[in-house]
Chain A
Amino acid sequence: MGRRDEWLDLPADLTDDGVDRRDFVKVCMLAAAALGLPAATGVKWAEAAESGLKPSVIWLHFQECTGCTESLLRTSHPGLGTLILDMISLDYHETLFAAAGHQIEKCLHDAVEAGGYICVVEGAIPTKEDGIYCQIAGRTAIDILQDVGGKAAAVIAIGSCASWGGIPSADPNPTGAVGAQEILPDKTVINLPGCPSNPYNFLGVVLQFATMGTLPALDDEGRPLFAYGRTIHEHCPRRAHFDAGRFARQFGDEGHNLGYCLFAMGCKGPETYANCSTLHFNEVPDAWPIGIGAPCFGCTTKGVGFTKPLFQEAALPPNYVPPIHPSDQRGPITPGWAGVVGLATGAAVGGALMASKKLGEGETEGS
């Protein structure tokens, strides 16, 4: 038996010889907790894994840096090894497979034939000149995605490149790079943008589908609400500084050293939808851009990341700053009350005019 992790009370390394069932269930439950799913889900995962019903995953790489795969390596609940060996059946992955050439293409072909798989897309798809700028085994990325993605039970686009184009799509976008959804307009693509995407968001989606067969609620850009429903700004630990007007003005100045808000340095937090501020990276607390003093550059959000200059100030959300002309201070004039006053005045004047007649009549001369 290997070392045990003191805090988690688990084998320190799950790839050691044999993991007993109790520990495995614990792992699954921890994973569920990390993903915000009920503990019972973890038990279900363990059962599914045991019964051998592991969902098939085909992972496609296109115009990417492999950062999202790398980021998946930095997880431990579950670790990548546990994930791909015990919980899912990874049937095609260019980075992690030892096979190459015809061998790996056969794996892809067999997995697609078998059907019922989750297709994960990493990287953008070039579209200019019929997509010749990314070809694997003689097929363009467009063809591959339309084939493999079209027959998938679910399509997940991991990373900003696959979600909306990412870095390859930055101005002037010479290859016409686009996200997976554009290539598969008739399929629901779950987008998990980020550069890299936070691996726990991916794990949550995959394991939810694998266990319960459902997908999380998505926003109108196909992003799971549980991860992309709020902006960085809404959950930022430096928010109090923003609200109090304490800003770092330059790297290394007093404000920067004191951990003040980075908005004045171009932090795109207010217009970036992501959960980096609560989830962090590498399982190290505060290991995320703002946490280490670098302004967020909006990597998840199309139109912000790789588009707006790093140090240009973010647009604030609507209604953050009041409009030039304030609303009517006492509210608009209520027609009812105005009517009452108008009528009363009219009646008074009318009455006086009528009284004139009476008052004016029949009187005598004075002294």
Chain B
Amino acid sequence: MASHSHAQPVGGPLNKKFVTFMVIFLGIWAAVLVYRFIFGIGVVSGLTDYYPWGVWIAFDVVTGTALACGGYAVAILCYILNKGKYHPLVRPALLTSALGYSMAGLAIVIDVGRWWGVWRIPFGGFPDMGKYNWDSALLEVALCVMAYVGVLWIELGPAFLEKWEATSKNSALVGFAKAGLKFYDKALIWIIALGVLLPTMHQSSLGTLMMLAGQKLNGLWYTPWLPLLYLISCVGMGYAVVVWESSLSASLFKRSRETSMLISLSGVMVVILSLYLVLRLGDLVISGKVPLMFSGWLSIVFWAEIGLFAVPLLMLANKQRRSHFPVILKASILIMLAGAFYRFNTYITAYRPAEGQTYFPSFLEIFITFGVIALEVSMYYFIVKRYPILGGAAAEKSAA
């Protein structure tokens, strides 16, 4: 395994303005959460019995975890396909993933109505234990996500252990760190294997979830291929996030950006986008749903969605064009948007349970979502400052 011990903490003092803003913002956010937990979900959201799943599920959980699949995507490249050159991308991607999934977990606790019982899920109930409903795709999502969060933080373990080993004054902690790193040397493969297996399972199951909606989901989105479509789009989104995350971090923290790596990464995205479009459109044609593509306003939404996948594909297809880095960045945004739009549509827009019912998130609902994102950004900031996450030598300060 190629090492990536070039990773360094960014170091330096925390930006005062940023910290102040976050403390205030997250303080207000915490107050809103208290209000939600006391008075229920209705007062802080636009959710109804016809639209029980809204922005918190469609975005924070489903889209959020897909965006957090940077770690998954890079791990496949790096460890399975053995493209060692992508190694410097691994840790930052893993951190984004770990935080993204943890925030998705937080969003779940905010969203579910009887959140105090969530801990019973891994036990299959308590005290009446071991009763899992294996028919439920949601069980699989829940268990996988819970496990994956753990796996991600464990995968990040070396970053923390390296820091403690290098700088800790506590000899016990240093000893622990040394032992830990040794353990990782041997066992990391099997942990990473889990880290590739688990997202494969639950990202596809996030698609399977909407199978139960049946007729309530518009025919252009309802298909037995939902799991595979979700998996493919998630991988694409994962790469797109990696592109952005590494560019942003390089810029903000004055690191060198792995440009050539990211360019070749974009070549992979072309394959993924093609796979998605072929499967999506092919399935619709074969199941005779072509007339649906041209009737009703949902068909407009459908074509917009297809467009969002097709445009970045065209942008990146040409090798010449994709070596121009801004093109890759723009295409990545579109890919993230495409995947997010697809998920929003499956869970909300194309979900029509009853005549005359609509859903739109309320202000507080969106505010809470922003708070989750803000929390994630803050934690990312703190961790990269303190721990060896970001790679690349301390900047060859360019003209940028």
Contact = CB atoms under 8 A, between A and B. Distances in A.
B49 to A, nearest CB: 7
B337 interface: yes
Contact of A366 (B248, B257, B354, B399): B257
Interface in B247-264: 247-248, 250-251, 256-261
Interface string B342-368: 000000000000111111110100100
A338 B361 CA distance: 9
B392 interface: yes
Interface in B374-400: 391-393, 396, 398-400
B339 interface: no
A359 B355 CA distance: 46
A349 B337 contact: yes
Q: Is the interface of A mostly helix, strand, loop or mixed?
A: loop
A33 B360 CA distance: 59
B48 interface: yes
Interface stretch (A156-164, A306-314, A328-336): A328-336
**Interface size grouping (class) on chain B:** 35 or more
Interface stretch (A100-108, A218-226, A350-358): A350-358
Nearest to B48: A329
Contacts of B391: 367
Contacts, number: 87
A363 B257 contact: yes
A363 B358 contact: no
A142 to B, nearest CB: 53
Contacts of A367: 6, 88, 256, 258, 391-393
B159 interface: no
Given A363-B398, A365-B259, A367-B256, A356 B361 contact: no
Given A328-B357, A367-B392, 6 more contacts: A337-B363, A360-B326, A360-B328, A361-B326, A366-B261, A366-B392
30 contacts: A325-B355, A329-B357, A330-B358, A330-B359, A333-B358, A333-B360, A338-B360, A341-B361, A353-B330, A356-B333, A359-B329, A360-B328, A362-B398, A362-B399, A362-B400, A363-B259, A363-B398, A363-B400, A364-B256, A364-B257, A364-B396, A365-B256, A366-B88, A366-B250, A366-B256, A366-B257, A366-B258, A366-B259, A367-B88, A367-B258
10 tightest Cβ-Cβ pairs between the two chains A and B: A360-B326, A356-B329, A366-B258, A329-B48, A360-B325, A333-B360, A366-B256, A356-B330, A325-B355, A360-B329
Interface of B: 6, 46, 48-50, 88, 247-248, 250-251, 256-261, 324-330, 333, 337, 354-361, 363, 366, 391-393, 396, 398-400
